[in-house]
Structure 1
């Protein structure tokens, strides 16, 4: 995962295009789907993960010139949340859930790109995703039990039930966010999707709590970074380095992983859009808090029916 970002990331820094790191970061997420020790299964999982990420991300990139916000942004987020949930659950992908495709659509779709789609960003996004698949095929892992990579494909009733829950929860969180005029609505939608990756009420509460605590800790790290007044090149290198602990702890300690992932995401978005100031940190925190609270409450109401426990090891 780290190599999947560091190689294209360093190339972007060398050619003086650090603003494209946001696209490369989402492309490198494809590496997270390569946990299976068997190469063919790893290729299948990464191909499916890449399909989700590329479809959602490319859709966001192509719609970015229209200035996605409000209800159109929410409608797109609802679609990609439900679609990604169906693919992840039906094929037992890890990481499960819809967070990454949903966030890729929202983040890349709201970047200021002018009147035309960012073709250079699209190239960086697709190239990084394909490079991550290549790395996945070159890597050699130990026994499956050492990595917790057992995949479970869920029956269609469970798959469709959780996809419907994603639709309802993301809609409610987004509608409330629009009503409250929350900036950066993509953070609210992503926050709402986080608890649904767990299979029961206790798991959702724990995951939501980790999300909030990790985000706040990440903002603390970010404040320390801002205090140093780093250059764009330094920020680019820092984004690449932050991907290593993010992936290392994502399955083992979700809250700790987010303390690295939060500054990574905010820094990459600031490189892509320098006009975004420190206010984004608080918008991120408030948007996450609103989304997580709505996600936990709405899922408890609309998804009460007993079902098979969803696999752990999800992210987002």
Structure 2
């Protein structure tokens, strides 16, 4: 699972760098991001990723594709991300090697993917990214990621809770991010702060997604500053508005889908 997830992330980042060198327009980026989300959904199902869904692939592709790049940057992006993924896999298995835990072969195909989930991710990504692009907001991939996040869990109620956590956690996370952005940290300090935020995120995300957003939000914003420094106030505003936009799109799709499912299941009662 770690290897397939790592390979997929490297691929998504490499594609983002390649797309950046071509210089496609914002609408083409929305469509490409939707295809990445759909493909990531299939990969997540096939290889049984935990956490599930294409959120991280979409974030990797969207973030990298938004940074201006040249052809020479593509192999650099692939090398850096591949080395990072390999390091993560090694660290993730040090304990098993130290304990001499026997390796158990797993079948490469865990589950057969259907077409509903990829189409659902494709739809919310196009709607959220399209709305953000049409509104002229500077970071449309944030709206796409926010739309994808609630769909990463199963069940209407769980999805609604995840959507609420995304909104409330992001708003509170912006309050955490504001002083860090306004400090104007140098690159080394930024990296150290991101490391701390990442560690805390991993400690709490499995227990409460909303609380994890308090740390995910500033971490995402600071990581963006590493690529190219941007106005702090504009970043905070874009993050809040696009998160709300993406979550509203996700909730609308969830409600419509649930309504159609109820109509198909209980036609006589509804009549």
| TM-score calculated relative to the size of structure 2 | 0.85
Q: 1:116 to 1:71 in 2, by over 3 A?
A: farther
Q: 1:153 to 1:200 in 2, by over 3 A?
A: farther
Show the counterpart of 1:280: 235
Q: 1:82 to 1:68 in 2, by over 3 A?
A: same
Write the distance in 2 (CA, Å) between the matches of 1:173 and 1:201.
19
Per-residue Cα deviation, 1:293-315 (whole angstroms, up to 9, x for no partner) = 10111133246548xxxxxxxxx
Show the counterpart of 2:269: none
Show the counterpart of 2:30: 74
- Tell me if structure 1 keeps the 8 A contact 2:14–2:74: no
CA RMSD of superposed structures (Å):
2.3
Write the distance in 2 (CA, Å) between the matches of 1:78 and 1:264.
24
- Tell me if structure 2 keeps the 8 A contact 1:270–1:276: no
Residues 208-219 of structure 1: pairs in structure 2 closer than 5 A: 208-219=163-174
Greater relative contact order (Cα < 8 A, sep 6+): 1
Residues 79-90 of structure 1: pairs in structure 2 closer than 5 A: 79-90=35-46
The CA deviation at 1:63 is 1.4
Show the counterpart of 1:194: 149
Write the distance in 1 (CA, Å) between the matches of 2:23 and 2:224.
16
Q: 1:115 to 1:90 in 2, by over 3 A?
A: closer
Write the distance in 2 (CA, Å) between the matches of 1:275 and 1:87.
34
Show the counterpart of 2:201: 246
Residues 60-71 of structure 1: pairs in structure 2 closer than 5 A: 60-71=16-27
Indicate whether 1:138 and 2:138 are aligned. no
Show the counterpart of 2:102: none
Per-residue Cα deviation, 1:179-230 (whole angstroms, up to 9, x for no partner) = 2222211101111101111212211111011111121122111122245443
The CA deviation at 1:80 is 0.9
Per-residue Cα deviation, 1:151-197 (whole angstroms, up to 9, x for no partner) = x95554xx321111111111111222222222211101111101111
Q: 1:102 to 1:227 in 2, by over 3 A?
A: closer
The SS at the match of 2:115 is: helix
Consecutive unaligned residues in structure 2, runs of 5 or more:
100-108, 263-271
Show the counterpart of 1:51: 7
Aligned residues, how many? 251
* Aligned equivalent of 1:168, options 123, 126, 142: 123
Write the distance in 1 (CA, Å) between the matches of 2:92 and 2:183.
36
| TM-score calculated relative to the size of structure 1 | 0.73
Show the counterpart of 2:76: 120
Indicate whether 1:236 and 2:194 are aligned. no
Write the distance in 2 (CA, Å) between the matches of 1:82 and 1:121.
23
